[in-house]
Amino acid sequence: MHLNKELHEYFLNHTKEMSEEWYQTINKKNSSGIYVTTDQDSIRKLKKQNYEFYLHMANIFLEERDAFFDAFNKWIHKIANDSGHIETPIHYVIREFLRVRDQYFSYINRFAKENDQKIEQQRIDNWKDLIQDVFDYVVLQFVEGTHNASLKQLRAQQEMINELSSPIISISSDTALLPLVGDIDTARAKVILENTLEQCTTKEVDQLFIDLSGVVIIDTMVAHEIFQLIDALNLIGVKTTLSGIRPEIAVTAVQLGIPLDRISIESTLSNSIAKHVGSLSAK
């Protein structure tokens, strides 16, 4: 056990040296992301993160395995959620983990060579196996953490895109337009429904024109969502007029048993607005 303690102290004494050695030997011509940044704040942050890694690693030679990994997990997940590492290609990050692993192997050999006591090769091999196990665990945890962080970021971006792709455009104080463009899947249709109801209430819309001429593909479920939106708008006192309905959408509506005669429909958006303006003038 005293050799493990000596090895622990050896790594602590060489932590700064190892961290700086690692940074100086990064192949910046064959890397990208956080490893090639020239921003001084980002460089300091990267060095600090790496230094923390070495501090954690030294404890593997003294602490119980479970206690060691419980403490180390916090660092791993912090790095996995770090924007600089998320934006760095994963193979470059793994390469750096492997370089640091080899650095540990080298320093274990140095420790054994510099130690006054003759250290059996089996003891050295056990230390290296322990290091290998830790790095295997760290890499797997980091990849999983980065994957989850990327998915969370992707979902947030998709939600933003969905919201931006279904804007309510004000035409007058109580009249607005919802132009739908592109493919609409069930998830986007639900976002459109929620977003439209909220915006119509906020903007105090009485008349909403929904134009479908820019919708390329629509399935039965999506058509159902759109007609549900019309029913929901009607419940909050918003009159709707549909325009640009393609034949396949009309067929889907009939198959769903939706009474189209109860819905205001015009062939084009211009006809919808012109008719609405005409009715207001007549009043």
pLDDT tens digit sequence for 52-78: 999 999 999 988 888 898 889 889 988
Which DSSP category does 48 fall into?
A: H
Q: Do 176 and 205 touch, CB atoms closer than 8 A?
A: yes
Distance of alpha carbon 127 from alpha carbon 135, whole angstroms: 13
DSSP 210-230: EEEEEE----HHHHHHHHHHH
Question: What pLDDT does 209 receive?
Answer: 92
Alpha helices (runs of H) in 174-268, residue ranges in sequence order: 186-202, 220-235, 247-255
Better-scored residue on pLDDT, 2 or 258: 2
Phi-psi region at 184: left, alpha or beta (left = phi > 0; alpha = psi -120 to 50):
beta
Distance of alpha carbon 47 from alpha carbon 118, whole angstroms: 35
List, in sequence order, every residue forming a beta bridge with 209; answer none if it has no partner: 177, 241
- Summarised one tens digit per residue, pLDDT across range 198-233 is 889 988 999 999 888 887 666 777 778 888 888 899
Q: Which of 15-29, 104-118, 220-234 has the lowest mean pLDDT?
A: 220-234
- Summarised one tens digit per residue, pLDDT across range 123-176 is 999 999 999 999 999 999 998 888 888 888 777 776 666 555 567 888 888 899
Write down the residue that tokens 């205001």 correspond to: 264
Residue type, position 210, single letter: I
- Count Cβ atoms below 10 Å from residue 202 Cβ, excluding itself: 9
Q: Do 60 and 134 touch, CB atoms closer than 8 A?
A: yes
Write down the residue that tokens 């909403």 correspond to: 208
**Fold held by 2-160:** Globin-like (1.10.490)
Question: What pLDDT does 246 receive?
Answer: 78
Better-scored residue on pLDDT, 203 or 181: 203
**Fold held by 169-282:** Transcription Regulator spoIIAA (3.30.750)
Per domain, the residue ranges of the chain are 2-160, 169-282
Question: What pLDDT does 162 receive?
Answer: 57
Question: What pLDDT does 251 receive?
Answer: 77
Q: Do 183 and 216 touch, CB atoms closer than 8 A?
A: yes
Q: Give the pLDDT mean for 90-112.
A: 94
Better-scored residue on pLDDT, 122 or 247: 122
